[in-house]
Structure 1
Amino acid sequence: MWETRFKWMLYASFATASFIFLQMAFFSLHVLFGIRLSFNVFKICFELFHMLRAPWVFYTIHLLVIYTFGSCLWVIVRQMLVSVRSAKRLVRFQDKQLTRLYTGKYHLRGHELIVIRERTPVALTLGVLRPQIVLSTGLIDMLDPSELEAVMEHERFHLMQRDPLAIFLLSMLSISMWYIPMFRWVRDKYKIIIEIMADRFAMSITCSAQDLGSALLKMLKQQGRAPGPNVSYASFAETSINLRILHILEPATPLTLGIPLMRTLVSVVTLLILVTLT
């Protein structure tokens, strides 16, 4: 039930963001090239306040559009640069023999798994356009085969769902559209929910909660290093550990989303300001 509800909230967030981006793009085309479109929220708001002799709106609307597009570009460029550096580092520390071995063992495609030479346990899925699972030799040495299988199925879920891409998009929205605080809330909740869903997927494949739980506890004792604060990734043992353990022990436990009233009100009011002033 809560999975379906959150999916609709996720879709609503992307639809809302797309509408705002589209309106800003139409407004920019009108300002820069004089292209007139039949309906544009920002152009109408601008012309309305111009008639009311409120010139500050001219600067406010333009600054809002420039900031939104500029911050999106900054986030994209930053992600590209960090991804390139991370990819080079992974290739440098790659254990090609183990990569081939476990790629074949778990029936993955060539680019979907990389095993790196690292003593600390690492298990995560990263990559916005071409996601891949990253395992460390320290993790493989630490876990039993059944525990490693549970971790692999957990990461396979992130791979199939392309969770790094969703995390990147939500992070970009939360930064570029800070004036709609629900985007940040959806991003934070998404990171929690995908871990619980990945845990459930792994348990459904392995038919056991014990292996997944023991692997999680072992990794907590020797937490691996994250790839960097600007990389979009889904990690096995970094998010909402207590809540995940509860759901591993009691899979039927309902998850309360706890929608924040103030953030919702601020987001709704912001959207109304952008739309109903027409």
Structure 2
Amino acid sequence: MWWRRKSWYLLLLSLVLASMVWIQMGMFLTHLIFGVNLKLNFFKFCISLFRENSFYYFLVIFLLNTMIAYILLVTIGKVIAQIFLSFRFRKRLLNLKDHEMTRLYGTRLNRHEDLMIIKSDRILAFTTGIKNPVIVLSTSLVQMLETEELEAVVEHETFHKNNRDPLKIFILQVIAHSLWFIPLTKWCYENFKIMSELMADEYAVTKMGSEMSLGSALLKLIKNSFKTPSTLVVQFSGESVNFRLQQLVEPQKAIPVKLKLFHIVISIHVMLLLMGMVLFTLA
């Protein structure tokens, strides 16, 4: 429950920061395009600090327009790229789909609608899809794990599917990349991914009734990753896997997710600057 609440805090924080910047950006574009005189806009305030028609006046306008164009292009580009890549990726998965094994394990695991097994020598276990998420496993993974271990992995991925993690992570990624000048957005993105893995493990343990099956599967996947690191595609970044193992060994122990001082200082300064500009304009 705590991880779920904390993950929502991260998602909400990132959305609030993005909304503040995007709303201000929209207000500024409305002022430029339609000549509407809007208050409480820090972009407009930046321009007002310089004498009209001076060199610095046009320089600030150029820099602001460049920043706004960058944010728009990154946001729109990411969305378009995601749609295009999702279509291609889904098509490739369908070409690799092992229909016989998908039917077999769909019946065995009672997952006829949202489970897909693909032919691959790589160790694959992931959830893909923004609108209709699907759990994808590779034949190599299925052959490597025992039945209960495989069930635990599927339950882990089921949480990602039910929690709409692919969509949430995509949103956080777009925000982090477009608002790079607010480090908190990147921190939210990175830590949400870790928390989503911890919550998925917790869900799988609850469904399986113990940590044994998931822990055994996790250790096998880690062992395999050391043998052939280029063939493993699961969530095993160094920090994430350490947290996951710690949670399985000591489920009652709180796992700290630390915020770096650099992220705090830079983000606070940026937000204070933006808020100060808005308040100054209002006064």
Task: Identify the match of residue 103 of structure 2 among 100, 105, 113.
Answer: 100
Deviation at 1:115, TM superposition (A): 0.9
Residues paired across the two proteins, number: 270
Deviation at 1:47, TM superposition (A): 3.3
Shifted more, 38-47 versus 10-19: the winner is: 38-47
Question: What letter is aligned with 2:87?
Answer: V
Aligned to 2:241: 241
- Aligned residue for 1:135, secondary structure, equals strand
Question: What letter is aligned with 1:99?
Answer: T
Larger-Rg structure: 2
Mapped contact 2:3–2:199 kept (Cα < 8 A): no
Q: Deviations over 1:37-87 (max 9, x none)?
A: 454332343334456964132122211111111111222233233222221
Correspondences of 1:3-152 after superposition (within 5 Å): 3-37=4-38, 39-50=40-51, 54-55=56-57, 56-108=59-111, 110=113, 112-152=114-154
2:239 maps to 1:251 = no
Correspondences of 1:146-185 after superposition (within 5 Å): 146-185=148-187
- Aligned residue for 1:252, secondary structure, equals coil
- Aligned residue for 1:124, secondary structure, equals strand
Deviation at 1:131, TM superposition (A): 1.8
Question: What letter is aligned with 2:71?
Answer: T
Question: What letter is aligned with 1:138?
Answer: S
Cα RMSD of the aligned pairs, angstroms, is: 2.4
Deviation at 1:3, TM superposition (A): 4.8
CA distance in 1, matches of 2:181, 2:258: 20
CA distance in 2, matches of 1:106, 1:81: 32
Q: Mark the CA change 1:65 to 1:139 in structure 2 (over 3 Å): closer, same or farther.
A: same
Task: Identify the match of residue 218 of structure 2 among 216, 219, 224.
Answer: 216
Shifted more, 198-207 versus 183-192: the winner is: 183-192
CA distance in 2, matches of 1:86, 1:226: 18
Name the structure, 1 or 2, with higher relative contact order (CA <8 Å, separation 6+): 2
Task: Structure 2: give runs of 5+ residues left out of the alignment.
Answer: none
Q: Percent identity?
A: 34
**TM-score of the superposed pair, with normalisation by structure 2:** 0.86
- Aligned residue for 1:191, secondary structure, equals helix
Q: Mark the CA change 1:162 to 1:58 in structure 2 (over 3 Å): closer, same or farther.
A: same
CA distance in 1, matches of 2:216, 2:145: 9
- Aligned residue for 1:122, secondary structure, equals strand
Q: Normalized per residue, which structure has more helix?
A: 2
Mapped contact 1:219–1:237 kept (Cα < 8 A): no
CA distance in 1, matches of 2:90, 2:72: 27
CA distance in 2, matches of 1:47, 1:107: 64
- Aligned residue for 2:182, secondary structure, equals coil
Shifted more, 128-137 versus 176-185: the winner is: 128-137
Mapped contact 2:106–2:112 kept (Cα < 8 A): yes
Aligned to 2:195: 193
Deviation at 1:132, TM superposition (A): 1.3
Question: What letter is aligned with 1:274?
Answer: L
Q: Deviations over 1:126-158 (max 9, x none)?
A: 222322111111111111111111001000000
Q: Deviations over 1:77-129 (max 9, x none)?
A: 3323322222121111101232234345444463x221101133211112223
Task: Structure 1: give runs of 5+ residues left out of the alignment.
Answer: 228-234
- Aligned residue for 2:123, secondary structure, equals coil
Deviation at 1:274, TM superposition (A): 2.1
